[in-house]
Structure 1
Amino acid sequence: MDKTAAHDLAPVTVAGLGPMGAALAAAFVDRGHPTTVWNRSAAKARPLVARGARHAQTLPEAAGASPLLVICVTDYAAAKSIIEGAGDALAGRTVVNLSSSTPEEAREAVGLAAGFGAAYLDGTIMVPVHVIGGPEAVFFYSGSRPVYDAQLETLRALGGDVRFLGDDPGLAVLYNTALLGLMWATANGYLHAAALVGTAGATAADFAPVGLDWLLPSVVIPILHGATKEIDEGVYPGDAGTVRMNLNAADHLLETSRAQGISTHVPRFLKDMLERTVEAGYGDGSYMGMIEVLRRPAEG
């Protein structure tokens, strides 16, 4: 990028230089944005300074250096301390928080930033560190649409797919948390399945082409895509298979796991959820009726 083009790019400050924060700062530097960095441990700024960033000694200095402050730290408590530490230097600026938090904390942060005269946008990073800055990167944002629109060009420097989810500041982290649960549940099912076939001598390499390359993309994903109308409308026709049928199969999974000498934790959970779905009156409907049980408040 030539110097004139770089000069026209908006300055950015990144606060928090752990592995992810450092990757964000590096992406801004590499795209030519004048980039200021701050970290509680100043030594972490040195590689970025060598790369072309400017190191701010204090939080007010860091916040005052750019119209946009990007925060990437471990949790909301740390992000909150950065916002409070920057204080009045945030007036007229925008805070984009890419730290781990909860929906409630994201909503609270809007008022916290506004108290210092700053606009606020919450976001989540959906990819590992090494993807930042590249086309595979994915970021979710939520909160004020005008704030998002105003900062979008700068945020695109982080690479990849940038998605605005809605006006509720808690939406980005809510999606992130939901997707983590989906990832873990999928991984748990796969690991149990691999353990089960492993009792017959099949390796993970033997099983993966069937379990991952065929079942998920060819069977599971199309079924789930096709079920979106059922879920949204709350109508669960059982013509293609009922909860009761799945409960019978879950019994087989549980007994086979026990007979093969492996853990029954995963199939016990599945059977329990299917039984709860039957008890809730959805036994003759499709498997998707289970969402009505999941939508209920936690017991106890």
Structure 2
Amino acid sequence: MTPHTNDKTPVTLLGLGAMGTALARAWLAAGHPTTVWNRTPARADALAAAGARAAGSAAAAVAAGPLVVLCLLDDASVGEALADADLAGKDVVNLTTCTPAQARARAAWARERGARYLDGGIMAVPPMIGVPESGGYVFYSGPRELFDRHREVLAVPAGTTYAGADPGFAALHDVALLSAMYGMFAGVTHAFALVRGEDVDPAAFAGLLVDWLTAMAPAAHGIAAEPGAGDEGSREEPPEDVSSLAMQVAGTPTFLDTARHQGVSPELLTPYFELMRRALAEHSGPGEPRGMVDLLRR
């Protein structure tokens, strides 16, 4: 009889927090030989029982195969984990949350050590990993050839979206989308604070919120369509409805008064209201008008 051979790509995973553990379980379930390492060795026990190989050190884990995936606390943790590892000839995929600048520096650091490097930004929470219908995905940036080489194995835990050759673009897209998410969470938090204590059904109110935010979300397309939005060198400005902005600024005292009357801090609203006032001042003063995105970039 011919012995069975596993033709699945071996994966080494460094970092077994909630996300790392979910990634490892997805690769194991798909039949990929998986080597794991964590600074606290006990976290590897359950995965070892499920068929993973637990390495005694990060360097030993890296030596186990050509594809090395990292899901650690921060960029400093990546440097510490790989300090004693031989990266020559390795394909390193870093899913650790970092800044675009850190990703670019880490890519150069990996190249100096003979490795090929992809950076990643995970747009999912652990329960979404390994569940195709969850909608979770990961941004990847770096050499397109390297992404294409490992796309199949990288797609096992979650969908894949290539963000570009610049190693910093995965982190940039990750942080940009999450920043918008936190802005939404701020608005939702303020909205629930306003109605708390009143005879308002929270579940019904949540439905209203979701429908309203869904209806407003396409406004992002309008910002994307502004002339010069993708060209830093362009001085052309989009036509803007100044009266509408003036109307909104004039209405802000109503929001602040309502918050005060409901005993709610306005701290989540006032920064954006101030930006609106600055944008209106640009329109009413001399010189060319500026959009609020441009004001933030000064």
Question: Same fold, TM exceeding 0.5?
Answer: yes
Runs (5+) with no aligned partner, structure 2: 230-235
- Listed as ranges, the matches of 1:232-271 within 5 Å are 232-233=228-229, 235-239=237-241, 242-271=244-273
The one-letter amino acid paired with 1:198 is R
C-alpha RMSD of matched pairs (Å) = 2.3
Structure with the higher fraction of residues in helix conformation: 1
Alignment match, 2:279: 277
Q: Which runs of no fewer than 5 residues in structure 1 stay unpaired? A: none
- Which residue of the partner structure matches residue 101 of structure 2? 104
- What letter matches 1:60 in structure 2? A
**How many corresponding residue pairs?**
285
User: Higher mean Cα deviation, 95-104 or 258-267?
Assistant: 258-267
Secondary structure at 1:157's aligned position in 2?
coil
Correspondence for 1:225 among 207, 216, 221: 221
Shift in Å, 1:216: 1.4
Contact 1:282 1:289 in 2 (8 A): no
Q: Counterpart in 2 of 1:127? A: 124
The secondary structure found in structure 1 opposite 2:185 is helix
Instruction: Decide whether aligned partners of structure 1 residues 42 and 228 sit closer, same or farther in structure 2, where only a CA change above 3 A counts.
Output: same
In the TM superposition, what is the alpha-carbon distance from 1:244 to its structure 2 partner?
A: 0.9
1:190-248 deviations in whole A, cap 9, x for unaligned? Answer: 221222233643242232222212x1122x12333244212654644345962111101
Q: Is the 8 A contact 2:12 2:62 kept in 1?
A: yes
Moved over 6 A (4+): none
Partner Cα distance (2:59, 2:196) in 1: 58
Question: Which residue of 205, 212, 231 maps to 2:210?
Answer: 212
Deviation digits for residues 65-113 of structure 1 (CA, Å, limit 9, x no counterpart): 1110001110011111122221x2x211111011121111111111221
Q: Is the 8 A contact 1:83 1:113 kept in 2?
A: no
Alignment of 1:95 onto 2:92: yes
Quote the sequence identity (%): 39
Q: How does 1:33-52 map to 2 (within 5 A)?
A: 33-52=32-51
Aligned position for 1:26? 25
Question: Which amino acid counterpart does residue 68 of structure 2 have in structure 1?
Answer: L
1:291 aligns with: 293
- How has the CA–CA distance of structure 1 residues 211 and 232 changed in structure 2, closer, same or farther, with 3 Å as cutoff? farther
Q: Flag the 1:120–1:199 CA change in 2: closer, same or farther, 3 A.
A: same
Q: CA deviation at 1:271?
A: 2.1
Give the conservation status (yes or no) of the 8 Å contact 2:94–2:120: yes
